[in-house]
Amino acid sequence: MGQKIGCLHAHYSNIAYIEQAFAGGEVELVHYVDPGLMSRLSSQDSGFDDEQAREKVVEQMKWIAGTQVDAILITCTNYIALLDEERLNTTIPIIKIDEPFFAAICSLDEPQTVMFTNPATVDGTMNRLHAFAASRGITLEQIDVQVVPNTFELIMQGKKEAYMDELTSSMKAFFSVRGNSARLAVAQLSMVDAAQQVERELGVQIVNPLQALASAWRANGMK
């Protein structure tokens, strides 16, 4: 019998990516989606602060933990940054999608750029990246951040084709300026399809969280 993993997503589009990462393994995935929290955080709702957001994430996690899962996977970097594990107080393993991604970035000892479409995830993700590196005694070389403007609302509205067009154009422009040997990573699952398309078209390598998660899972005994 395989593991049962409860997956917490900020958007429905992440489900297909995670199904792809675990394809072929003896794993049962149960998906829970709540786009409302990210929407409220992104809108800077004056009546909704970080403390309320942390409480909401703990509430979501406790609900999933109560469904007899073997582990919980969080696919939203903001949810991960907001999670208070002491308040959650569970023995169920928590898989944070950004940790294999951070490990992939930390394995490179040269300047890199991390690309985002959602500005609200930048600070939380980069703070966690530097904390992850520091906890392992790793000194990161220059890390630049690039946000593709006015795109995240497209994926939230289900306009994936327009989202893909904007992303692939931005990635191709990046390599046009920096050269095909430049190091680029995309920080969000919704960016994976565009990154893979640009990899195929230009023959470049782009670090993405889905590939890093799948590789880490297989390395730890995925069948």
Task: Provide the residue ranges of all domains of the chain, joining segments of one domain with +.
Answer: 3-92, 99-211
What's the confidence (pLDDT) of residue 48? 67
- On whether the CB atoms of residues 104 and 133 are closer than 8 A, the answer is no
What's the confidence (pLDDT) of residue 222? 40
pLDDT tens for the chain, 223 residues: list them: 578 999 999 888 889 989 988 887 788 999 999 877 777 766 665 566 778 888 888 889 999 999 999 999 999 888 888 888 888 888 899 999 999 999 999 998 889 999 999 888 898 899 999 999 999 999 887 899 999 999 988 988 889 899 999 999 999 999 999 999 999 999 998 899 999 999 999 999 999 999 999 888 877 644 3
Instruction: Put the strands of the sheet holding 71-74 in their side by side order.
Output: 27-33, 3-9, 71-74, 94-96
Q: Which two tokens stand for residue 212?
A: 């890093």
Cβ-Cβ contacts under 8 Å for 222 (sequence gap 6 or more): 22, 25, 27
Fold of 99-211: Rossmann fold (3.40.50)
Residue 38: name the closest of 48, 30, 24, 25 by CA.
48
Q: In the 8-state DSSP scheme, what is residue 1?
A: -
| CATH for the stretch 3-92 | 3.40.50.1860
Convert the pLDDT of each residue in 70-111 to its tens digit: 999 999 888 888 888 888 888 899 999 999 999 999 998 889
Kindly compute the dihedral angle of the four CA atoms of residues 127, 132, 134, 140, in this order, to the nearest 10 degrees: -80
Q: Cα(223)–Cα(219) distance, rounded to whole angstroms? A: 10
* Burial zone of 106 (CB within 10 Å; 0-12 exposed, 13-18 middle, 19+ buried): middle
Backbone φ, ψ for residue 137 (5° rounding): 70, 25
Q: Which position has the token pair 């990635």?
A: 171
What's the confidence (pLDDT) of residue 223? 38
What's the confidence (pLDDT) of residue 24? 74
Q: pTM for the whole thing?
A: 0.84
Whether 3-92 shares its CATH topology with 99-211 is answered yes
What's the confidence (pLDDT) of residue 124? 84
Alpha helices in 29-97 (DSSP H): 35-42, 50-65, 77-82, 85-88
